[in-house]
Amino acid sequence: MHIGVLGATGPAGRGLAARLAAVGHEVVAGSRDPSRAEAVVGDLRDRWGDRVAGLTAGSNADAADAGVVVVATTWEGAVDTVAGFAPALAGKVVIAMANGLEKVGREFHPVLPGGRSLSEGMQAAAPEARVVAAFQHVPAAAFAALDQPIESDVVVCGDDDAARDVVLGLVAGIPVLRAFDGGSLVNAIGIEAFAATLLTCNLRHTGKGTLRLLGLEGRTS
């Protein structure tokens, strides 16, 4: 696939961009400032060599031109970024990985602007895009460690059945992630909000736990 990543200069976006390139996709790492994307792609090439041969740098507009687009900006900037690229995103699978968070003492709380998920906010901002929520529970460090499989499950939610299927396949193509069909985009509120609970568990139990569903096989290819 030809995949663009908006905001690929942060830890999550650069890690996912590298991981997708490593499994054979053509990936454009985008930034509001293409020189920042160049620097990130240069670092990834130095670290991983031919494993990220399919990775190139560009602007966010270049990334939005790809066939499948991942929104990896800060959660605060995600909806406005999608709104700004709405014409380019029309008809495309748009992967929303944001989860709104605030730290309150020794815990994280979910932030759901207007009482809805950011994924739904992105869908409203680009009504002709096919927004699918995924990857909220995968730590950025796990994406970036290309020499290790990612031990996590990914729940995928979206209203467009074909778009959801594309993302389930994309997730399942990353060793050894398992992809689960979480239904419509309205259910993204659960996966976004659970990220705050998961991070609170990690804080209070001092670890890097992620999501695992027991009793289900999920999709792995």
Ligand X SMILES: NC(=O)c1ccc[n+]([C@@H]2O[C@H](COP(=O)([O-])OP(=O)(O)OC[C@H]3O[C@@H](n4cnc5c(N)ncnc54)[C@H](OP(=O)(O)O)[C@@H]3O)[C@@H](O)[C@H]2O)c1
By the criterion CB under 6 A, which residues form the site for ligand X?
Answer: 7, 9-13, 31-33, 36, 72-78, 81, 97-99, 135-136, 138-140
Nearer to ligand X, 76 or 128 (CB): 76
**Least distance (Å) between residue 49 CB and ligand X:** 23
Is cis: bond before 176, omega within 30 of 0? Answer: yes
State which residue, 54 or 100, has the beta carbon closest to ligand X. Answer: 100
Q: Write out the two tokens for 11.
A: 């830890």
CB of 22 to ligand X, least distance (A): 18
- Whether residue 53 contacts residue 26, with contact meaning beta carbons closer than 8 Å, is answered with no
Q: Decide if 37 contacts 31 (C-beta within 8 A).
A: yes
Residues sharing a CB contact under 8 Å with residue 105, sequence separation 6 or more, in sequence order:
none
Of 162 and 206, CB closest to ligand X: 206
Measured from the CB atom, is 73 or 123 closer to ligand X?
Answer: 73
| Minimal distance, residue 143 CB to ligand X, in Å | 8
Give least dist CB 152 to ligand X, A: 10
State the sign of the Cα–Cα–Cα–Cα dihedral 168, 173, 174, 176. positive
Q: E strands of the chain, at which residues?
A: 2-6, 26-31, 55-59, 68-71, 93-96, 101-104, 107-110, 130-133, 153-158, 178-181
CB of 138 to ligand X, least distance (A): 6
Q: Which residue type, as a one-letter code, is found at position 92?
A: K
Question: By C-beta, is 37 or 52 nearer to ligand X?
Answer: 37
Kindly tell me which of 74 and 197 has the beta carbon lying closer to ligand X.
74
**CA torsion sign, 32 to 36 to 41 to 44?**
negative
CB atoms within 10 A of CB 68: 22
Task: State the maximum Cα–Cα separation within the chain, in Å, rounded to a whole number.
Answer: 46
Please report how close the Cβ of residue 206 comes to ligand X at its closest, in angstroms: 17
